[in-house]
Structure 1
Amino acid sequence: MVGWALDTRDPRNKIMVEAFSSAGESAQTLADSFRKDLLDAGIGDGYHGFQISVAGWRGDLSTISVRRADTGEILGRAPLPVLRPTAQDDAASSRWIGYVDYVDESAVVGWALDRELPNLPVAIEVCTETGLRTTGLADIYRQDVERLGYGNGRHGFHIELPRLGQRSRITVNFASSGVSLTEQPIDVHPEAALLTGRVPSAFRRAMERAAFEIDARSKELNGSRTGA
């Protein structure tokens, strides 16, 4: 279960939310994950997202609802619509596809798609080694993705990482399935990003031009010294 919750009367207070089913299963979490879409929409400080795993629940998932834990107020529809996969579990990796274009100290950029629902945006979760989580939607239009034949092309994401340390490592996952977009955690330290090529292509080209100019200037200087 992925969503967000905010008390407009007390926007600084983070809300504890609870998912529950008619079978008596329940789980709680604090709605304090950062979502850039909320911040851009002027909804509090953006730290109001939540994710609750119901993967181990044995009851009927179509009866799950989410409420505010302290007041019992139902959030959204009740029960919530559940998107059920039609693919087999062993084919999960082929259902959930995407790519991380680059990562730096402030953002992770890429695209992601659920093949079963190719025209709907998916939620992406970025997790740090220290347990911090940031969630965003893959709903930015990308012509290159549409040209590849993936849905309507609105599958790009740009998730800001405002609270990550300079040397943190992150994982980028599909929030609903937990499937990772990368085989290994990503180091967001700028030097590590450069060495592994995880930098914007425009920045990479600028660095290549700078390196070429430095090399050419060095040769000129060496030639003038030799001539002298």
Structure 2
Amino acid sequence: MNAGIEGIVGMYVKLGELDTLQRMKEHRQNLLEQCVDTANFSFDVTRSIYRSDLEVIEAGIESLSGEVTGHVDVFNENRIAGWALYDQHPDKRVTIDIYFNGELVAEVIADQFRKDLLKLNKGDGHHAFMFEPPAGSYQPPLQLEIRAAKRKVLKAVTVEQPAVSAEPAMDAEAK
């Protein structure tokens, strides 16, 4: 680990600078994407450093964002939908990762408006997500996992039969 990045991230965490940490993360991700090997040069060491930096930055973001609250309301071959928000920063949108059989198939942002969430004082109500699986991709038996903010598992289930669906649970307060 790079002690310098740990110190910088620690300082921004103490100051509550979530936006600054988000910008640092985007910057490191952009740098990582630019590390393309050539016939004469390998960026393996540089990529390793940037990945390590990203782990530290993401840990800082996680500590400032707080816990994630959410629920998957519907999961079937036509639609996967629910909601998620950061308890301490409901103004920040949560990234939702959807996995089929351990493989990431989608990354969506929980930023859609739902009136029931607003009525229940769940932030500004813009915390819903929806994903339509590509035709034929939702094929039982299927290990389905839906994660919020890379860390919280909102749903992990083995789908044995076609058209399995959880009834929509619009009462966000019960979650």
What TM-score do the two structures reach when normalised by structure 1? 0.47
| CA distance, structure 2, for counterparts of residue 188 and residue 113 of structure 1 | 29
Listed one character per residue, the Cα deviations across residues 29-58 of structure 1 (whole Å, up to 9, x for unaligned) are: xxxxxxxxxxxxxxxxxxxxxxxxxxxx96
Q: Does 1:180 align with 2:153?
A: yes
RMSD: 3.4
Letter in 1 for 2:93: P
Unaligned runs of 5+ in 2: 10-20, 38-42, 44-53, 170-175
Do the aligned residues in 1 keep the contact of 2:98 with 2:106 (CA within 8 Å)?
yes
When residues 187 and 60 of structure 1 are mapped into structure 2, their CA distance, relative to the original with a 3 A threshold, is farther
| CA distance, structure 1, for counterparts of residue 161 and residue 109 of structure 2 | 24
Listed one character per residue, the Cα deviations across residues 111-130 of structure 1 (whole Å, up to 9, x for unaligned) are: 11111111221100011224
The partner residue of 2:36 within 70, 73, 76 is: 70
| CA distance, structure 1, for counterparts of residue 101 and residue 7 of structure 2 | 32
State the match for 1:157 in structure 2. 129
Q: Does 1:97 align with 2:69?
A: yes
Please state how far the C-alpha of 1:192 moved relative to its aligned partner: 3.4
Please state how far the C-alpha of 1:86 moved relative to its aligned partner: 4.3
Do the aligned residues in 2 keep the contact of 1:104 with 1:199 (CA within 8 Å)?
no
The partner residue of 2:111 within 136, 139, 157 is: 139
Q: Give the structure with the higher percent helix.
A: 2
What TM-score do the two structures reach when normalised by structure 2? 0.60
Listed one character per residue, the Cα deviations across residues 189-218 of structure 1 (whole Å, up to 9, x for unaligned) are: 43433xxxx1558xxxxxxxxxxxxxxxxx
| CA distance, structure 1, for counterparts of residue 91 and residue 111 of structure 2 | 10
Please state how far the C-alpha of 1:186 moved relative to its aligned partner: 5.0
State the match for 1:36 in structure 2. none
SS class of match (1:181): strand
The alignment-based identity, stated in percent, is 22
Residues 16-95 of structure 1: matches in 2 within 5 Å?
23=2, 61=9, 65-66=28-29, 67=31, 68=33, 69-70=35-36, 83-86=61-64, 95=67
State the match for 1:6 in structure 2. none
| CA distance, structure 2, for counterparts of residue 84 and residue 179 of structure 1 | 11
| CA distance, structure 2, for counterparts of residue 200 and residue 84 of structure 1 | 29
When residues 148 and 186 of structure 1 are mapped into structure 2, their CA distance, relative to the original with a 3 A threshold, is farther
Q: Does 1:126 align with 2:126?
A: no
Unaligned runs of 5+ in 1: 1-20, 25-56, 73-78, 202-228
Please state how far the C-alpha of 1:158 moved relative to its aligned partner: 0.4
Higher relative contact order, structure no. (Cα contacts within 8 Å, ≥ 6 residues apart) = 2
When residues 186 and 140 of structure 1 are mapped into structure 2, their CA distance, relative to the original with a 3 A threshold, is farther
Structure 1 stretches (4+) deviating beyond 4 angstroms?
57-64, 79-82
- Paired residue total: 130
Please state how far the C-alpha of 1:84 moved relative to its aligned partner: 4.4
| CA distance, structure 2, for counterparts of residue 188 and residue 58 of structure 1 | 45
| CA distance, structure 2, for counterparts of residue 59 and residue 107 of structure 1 | 43
